[in-house]
Amino acid sequence: MVTFEVLEGYLFELRRNLPVFFVVLGFMLVNNKNHAKQMKCFLLLVLVAISWHSIDASPEAEFSDGIKLNGVEPHSEKPNIILLLSDDQSWNGLSLAMHPQIGWSKSRVIETPNIEKLASEGMRFSAAYAPASVCAPTRVSIQTGKSPAALHWTKASGPEYGHKMIEPLNVRNISHEETTIGEQLRDAGYATAHFGKWHLNGGGPNQNGYDVGDGDIGNEYAHQYADPNPADLFGMTRRAISFMENRKVDKKPFFMQMSWHALHAPQNAMKATLTKYAERLNRSVDDKRVGSAAISENLDTAVGLLMESIDRLGFRNNTFVVYMSDNGAGGGGKGDNQGIRDRLAGGKGGVWEGGIRCPFIIRGPGIPADSWCHTRIVGYDLFPTFCAWAGIPAEKLPKGLEGGSIQELLDDGLGKVYRSREELIFHFPHYQGGDGPHSALFLDHYKLIKFYEDNRLALFDIDQDIVERHNLFQQFPVKARELEGRLDNYLNEIDAQMAVPNPQYDPENAVNSAKSREGRSRAIKSKRNQAQSR
Ligand SMILES: [Ca+2]
């Protein structure tokens, strides 16, 4: 019986031998004196030529939309780069594990199937860190490849007063003297776009290296969009797709940052999704947990639409997609829970793991599917990494870069990141999460936290004790002091801003940081209500 496989085999053989037929027929055509036979030869020659063309085109026709089967884009040698940055999404806020041995490193409630798929096609990083535990500092750090401490931009909200120490005032505008990743890639021939939350002032994306952008917008923007476009998730996606379609036409490589407003405005999630999670969690649709879960799933849907378009436009094999969060979830950074519950300690506004450890995934050319990397990386490593992908030589990179390219890790998850310093430092000289001014230093398997109100030190073996439950300071005081020396040196060298003792401090009338946080969130809520009623 002639099966499809057999037919396919014949066709393959036929196709392989078509050039021979072509030559033989051509020879017969030229050398034959009989007109009828010449005509037959000519017709056969035409038939062979047509079938050669059609068979040759058929297997790759489906992929001809910009891609050849060997994975090389014909129109551009430089890979496209897409950075997907979510907001306030915790390390375990996705339905895929961020550590292969830690069951609770994924959410059992929230469904994010599209991001799951992205991870299954790329590499997951179990020890990736946001440059800061709060928004704007992380964003400016990603733009510049420098740490928030070096940029003197370590807090997003304004200072709190009445504490034991006075916190420094922040820079609140991205400096035009800094080279952004948008500027660097645009100079290298990239079309650049920044959609969504900018939060860095300085004239917005258009004045900082981006051809296309949504303007100088911050958190207030998210709340203007509800079902069917919660937090502008689908509007951003439509603009991104249109930007990519234009690159299909002008054949320019592109860099696109999607700074999703979500998980802000959780109450604006799609109504059907809110209902689904309200039922699942047995809580009301107004509940914050319900909202966060629902908007996480809506965000995932938007990511899925974007991924589909990357495939449809034929960009898949020549595009790096990076997914990460700008900081940990929730308010209240104090590491009080210390691993009692199945979650990281602390949260937004503190340098415990819950504030800075973030989900991180990369899919792209040469990166093995469903792979893992456990090397510690930080958001400001992206600047030199993107430059390496774009083929920008090291001597063209701006001075004072603190990140290192993570390219060496992407073959098999193993290797090193070479930064200007061995240690990785997170500096938060502010009041927000309940710990007061404090900093953290990572070196090898150690993490040191220094609290400036009383110069107290805490030391953790972070590889063994991810929940920061066992303070090893008493056990290894010499090591802790050595790391403290490195921390102090670094902060000195970069001229970091520090909190200073408050001479007017009155312990009787001290401000409770947690209480003032509540006050602030009440103020934001009433402002939001006013905005909505306008
Ligand atoms: Ca944030």
For 431-441, write each residue's pLDDT tens digit.
998 899 999 99
Expressed in angstroms and rounded, the spacing between residue 436 Cα and the centre of ligand 1 is: 19
Residue pLDDT, tens place only, 257-267: 999 999 999 99
Residue pLDDT, tens place only, 131-187: 999 999 999 999 999 999 999 999 999 999 999 999 999 989 999 999 999 999 999
Expressed in angstroms and rounded, the spacing between residue 471 Cα and the centre of ligand 1 is: 28
Q: Is the pLDDT of residue 211 over 50?
A: yes
Expressed in angstroms and rounded, the spacing between residue 390 Cα and the centre of ligand 1 is: 28
pLDDT at 404: 97
Stretch 512-529: mean pLDDT, rounded? 46
- What are the residues facing 319 on neighbouring strands? 80
Expressed in angstroms and rounded, the spacing between residue 34 Cα and the centre of ligand 1 is: 83
| Joined tokens for residue 376 | 């510690």
pLDDT at 43: 74
Scanning 212-326, the segments in alpha helix (DSSP H) are 233-250, 271-281, 288-312
Instruction: Report the distance separating Cα 527 and Cα 21, nearest Å.
Output: 79
Q: Is the pLDDT of residue 4 over 50?
A: no
Q: Cα dist. 87→93, 222, 268, 471, 484 in Å?
A: 11, 11, 15, 30, 31
Residue with tokens 């609140």: 172
Residue pLDDT, tens place only, 327-350: 998 765 566 655 556 789 999 999
Expressed in angstroms and rounded, the spacing between residue 134 Cα and the centre of ligand 1 is: 5
Expressed in angstroms and rounded, the spacing between residue 321 Cα and the centre of ligand 1 is: 20
Expressed in angstroms and rounded, the spacing between residue 346 Cα and the centre of ligand 1 is: 15
Stretch 287-296: mean pLDDT, rounded? 96
Expressed in angstroms and rounded, the spacing between residue 266 Cα and the centre of ligand 1 is: 13
Stretch 4-26: mean pLDDT, rounded? 51
Expressed in angstroms and rounded, the spacing between residue 439 Cα and the centre of ligand 1 is: 19
More confident residue, 71 or 307: 307
Expressed in angstroms and rounded, the spacing between residue 148 Cα and the centre of ligand 1 is: 14
Share of the chain above pLDDT 90, in %: 76
Q: Is the pLDDT of residue 281 over 70?
A: yes
Expressed in angstroms and rounded, the spacing between residue 327 Cα and the centre of ligand 1 is: 5
Expressed in angstroms and rounded, the spacing between residue 325 Cα and the centre of ligand 1 is: 8
Instruction: Report the distance separating Cα 133 and Cα 358, nearest Å.
Output: 10
Expressed in angstroms and rounded, the spacing between residue 208 Cα and the centre of ligand 1 is: 20
Fold of 80-422: Alkaline Phosphatase, subunit A (3.40.720)
Expressed in angstroms and rounded, the spacing between residue 407 Cα and the centre of ligand 1 is: 26
Stretch 81-103: mean pLDDT, rounded? 97
Expressed in angstroms and rounded, the spacing between residue 129 Cα and the centre of ligand 1 is: 13
- What are the residues facing 373 on neighbouring strands? 125
Stretch 223-252: mean pLDDT, rounded? 97
pLDDT at 76: 52
Instruction: Report the distance separating Cα 293 and Cα 98, nearest Å.
Output: 17
Q: Is the pLDDT of residue 511 over 80?
A: no
Expressed in angstroms and rounded, the spacing between residue 143 Cα and the centre of ligand 1 is: 15
Stretch 384-407: mean pLDDT, rounded? 96
Stretch 27-50: mean pLDDT, rounded? 71
Expressed in angstroms and rounded, the spacing between residue 383 Cα and the centre of ligand 1 is: 19
Expressed in angstroms and rounded, the spacing between residue 156 Cα and the centre of ligand 1 is: 9
Domain residue spans in the chain?
4-61, 80-422, 427-508
pLDDT at 9: 40
Expressed in angstroms and rounded, the spacing between residue 506 Cα and the centre of ligand 1 is: 32
Expressed in angstroms and rounded, the spacing between residue 354 Cα and the centre of ligand 1 is: 13
- pLDDT-derived band of residue 23, with 50, 70 and 90 as boundaries? low
- What are the residues facing 425 on neighbouring strands? 441
Instruction: Report the distance separating Cα 476 and Cα 202, nearest Å.
Output: 45
Expressed in angstroms and rounded, the spacing between residue 87 Cα and the centre of ligand 1 is: 4
Architecture of domain 427-508: 2-Layer Sandwich (3.30)
Expressed in angstroms and rounded, the spacing between residue 89 Cα and the centre of ligand 1 is: 8
Share of the chain above pLDDT 70, in %: 82
Q: Is the pLDDT of residue 218 over 70?
A: yes
Expressed in angstroms and rounded, the spacing between residue 324 Cα and the centre of ligand 1 is: 11
Expressed in angstroms and rounded, the spacing between residue 180 Cα and the centre of ligand 1 is: 20
Q: Is the pLDDT of residue 69 over 90?
A: no
Q: Is the pLDDT of residue 526 over 70?
A: no
Expressed in angstroms and rounded, the spacing between residue 198 Cα and the centre of ligand 1 is: 11
Q: Is the pLDDT of residue 451 over 90?
A: yes
Residue pLDDT, tens place only, 180-198: 999 999 999 999 999 999 9
Q: Which residues contact 52 (CB under 8 A, 6 or more apart)?
A: 15, 18, 19, 22
Expressed in angstroms and rounded, the spacing between residue 171 Cα and the centre of ligand 1 is: 17
Expressed in angstroms and rounded, the spacing between residue 170 Cα and the centre of ligand 1 is: 17
Give me the amino acid identity at 244.
Answer: M
Neighbour tally for 26: CB within 10 Å: 14
pLDDT at 520: 46
Expressed in angstroms and rounded, the spacing between residue 72 Cα and the centre of ligand 1 is: 36
pLDDT at 322: 98
Q: Which residues contact 185 (CB under 8 A, 6 or more apart)?
A: 81, 192, 209, 255, 386, 387, 390, 392
- pLDDT-derived band of residue 33, with 50, 70 and 90 as boundaries? confident
Expressed in angstroms and rounded, the spacing between residue 337 Cα and the centre of ligand 1 is: 21
Q: What is the DSSP letter of 426?
A: E
Expressed in angstroms and rounded, the spacing between residue 247 Cα and the centre of ligand 1 is: 30
pLDDT at 50: 57
